Amino acid sequence: MMFPVRAALISALPAFLSRRTANFSALQRRLPPLLGPAGRAALSTLPSSSPAPTATAAAAADSSSQKPAVAPPQAQITTTASSVTPETVRGRHVFKVSGYSLLKGLGVGKFVRSSTFAVGGYDWCVRYCPESDGCSDSGCIAVFLALMTKDVEVRALFDFRLVNPATGGLSRSIRMERPAMFNDAAGSLGYQMFQKRTVLEASEYLRGDCLVIQCDVTVIVGTPVPQSEAIQAVVPSDSDIQALPCEDGQMADYVMITVKGEEFRVHRSVLAVRSPVFIELELDVDHDRTRIDHMEPDVFKALLHFVYTDSLPAMDDLEGDQNRRRVVKGLLEAADKYCLDRLKLMCASILCKELSVDNVAATLDLAIWHHCRQLKDNCIGFITSSGRMDDVVATEGYKRLKVACPNVVEEIRKKAAEPSKNR
């Protein structure tokens, strides 16, 4: 008769050993001395002592028969960073116009000027025009900053204020939002409707028949080139744009830009490659939202199309040629502001093909203000060719151009006087 403990052990052995654990062979070696004759007989009836491979061992064996997966090579990314701070020089000139009433009737578009003053190594003067042709009734005064130094190109900011002759108090500043280019072709820039005469004559800024104009000039004297490796911008295709990475259903690395109430979701990284100037002027590194109020939504939409695709949109949904020209002009202004030279040339090409007697003066003014030499040359060539000169001169746009850009008008006059064979 077997003891109860030995009988229980023998009865549990088949179930235990059927699991084929890793220590099965060791049990076979150690149990027989403990079991006696009956236990050894029962042990001999069990299956072979070769244990089945465990799940871990099986997986390892299976994996050993396959080649390990090779991760695709990752392209190396080299990141560089740099910054520039343009050097500027500031100066101020106060121009006192005594005998304000005596200058009335001087003539539309005619001016008196201040003495010459120097800022940033260049000579300047202020022009005061008692009767601007920027108003339909010639009821405005105009002021301009003129570059006196010849054969140079100068980038500068300027603003004008009126000064109370009695107290020295200043009026609201009328200023440029961004630097303008002064050169022989665009030697004077300013404001044709600086102040209505009726408002001025009722204000505190005209006392004792004396008008005092303060002009602040900021000259950009140099833009250092940072020492950094150039970045080649690769423009993504439309399909690439749609496939840009998303997180939780939202575009990764995006900013939300609101343009006069209409929202646009744009990739910051795409903008940074295509126009670092846009990033610098319009976006805050610590915020993912911004607003732009100086551009129409349809112009900004066309700008984004170019940024992503390197091409202009069809603009088929725009009604009328005037609306289309408005968008193209807005794009040219944006291209100049954000240093998108290819876009500026594309817009200039469109405007060159659509020149007419009625719009050429305004287009020429646009070309001058936004430093588009190709468009400027085409406008001047259009005006001086095929007997159009008299018709263009009679337009209101050309009259405004005479006040804003007298140097360009002189250039047109000289070109028109050249023999026809040289044009």
Under 8 Å CB-to-CB from 14, ≥6 apart: which residues?
Answer: 46
Q: Are residues 263 and 330 in the same domain?
A: yes
Predicted structure pTM score:
0.45
Q: Which CATH number does the domain housing residue 246 bear?
A: 3.30.710.10
If you compute the radius of gyration of the chain from its CA atoms, what whole number of angstroms results? 40
Q: Are residues 198 and 313 in the same domain?
A: no
| Residue 224 confidence (pLDDT) | 45
Would residue 284 count as lying in a domain? yes
CB 143 within 8 A of CB 192: no
Let me know whether 213 and 104 are in one domain. Answer: yes
Indicate whether 50 belongs to any domain.
Answer: no
| Tokens of residue 167, six digits | 């107290």
Look at residue 280 and tell me if it is in a domain. Answer: yes
| Inter-residue contact 231 to 276 (CB < 8 Å) | no
Residue at a domain's end among 222, 255, 284: 222
Q: Of 194, 222, 250, at which residue does a domain stop?
A: 222
Asked if the structure places residue 228 within a domain, the reply is: no
Q: Is the domain of 91 the same as that of 35? A: no
Q: Are 170 and 159 in contact (CB under 8 A)?
A: no
Domain count, the chain: 4
Q: Is residue 120 part of a domain?
A: yes
By residue range, what is the domain housing residue 8? 1-45
Residues 323 and 249 in one domain: yes
CATH of residue 387's domain is 1.25.40.420
| Confidence at residue 354, expressed as pLDDT on a 0 to 100 scale | 86
* pLDDT number for residue 241: 42
Which of 336, 365, 393 is a domain's end point?
A: 336
Quick one: 218 and 239 in the same domain? no
Alpha-carbon distance of 338 to 342, in angstroms, equals: 11
Separation between Cα atoms, residue 265 and residue 257, nearest integer Å = 6
Q: In terms of domains, do 136 and 93 share one? A: yes
Apex 40 CA angle, 34 and 45, nearest 5: 140
414 domain-assigned: yes
Q: Answer yes or no: do 293 and 384 share one domain.
A: no
Q: Does residue 60 belong to any structural domain of this protein?
A: no
Q: Give the pLDDT score at 64.
A: 46
Residues 218, 96 share a domain: yes
- The number of C-alpha atoms within 13 Å of 168 and in the hemisphere containing its C-beta is 0
70 within a domain of the structure (yes/no): no
Q: What is the pLDDT of residue 236?
A: 41
Which pLDDT tens digits describe the chain residue by residue (423 residues)?
555 556 655 665 565 555 555 455 555 565 555 555 665 665 565 555 444 444 444 444 444 445 555 555 555 566 666 666 677 889 999 999 998 989 888 888 788 999 999 998 889 999 999 988 666 556 888 899 999 988 888 889 999 999 998 888 888 888 877 888 888 777 788 888 888 888 899 999 998 899 999 999 999 875 444 433 333 334 344 444 444 444 444 445 778 899 998 999 888 888 888 888 888 888 876 678 888 888 999 999 999 999 888 888 877 665 557 788 899 999 999 999 888 888 988 898 889 888 889 999 999 999 998 888 888 888 988 888 767 888 888 999 898 888 888 888 888 888 877 755 444
CB atoms within 10 A of CB 179: 16
Q: Do 111 and 182 share a domain, yes or no?
A: yes
Beta-carbon neighbour count of residue 188 at 10 Å? Answer: 22
Residue 183 and residue 189: Cα distance in Å, rounded?
A: 10
Q: What is the CATH number of the domain that holds 146?
A: 2.60.210.10
> Is 167 found in the same domain as 281?
no
Instruction: Clarify whether residues 144 and 211 are in a common domain.
Output: yes
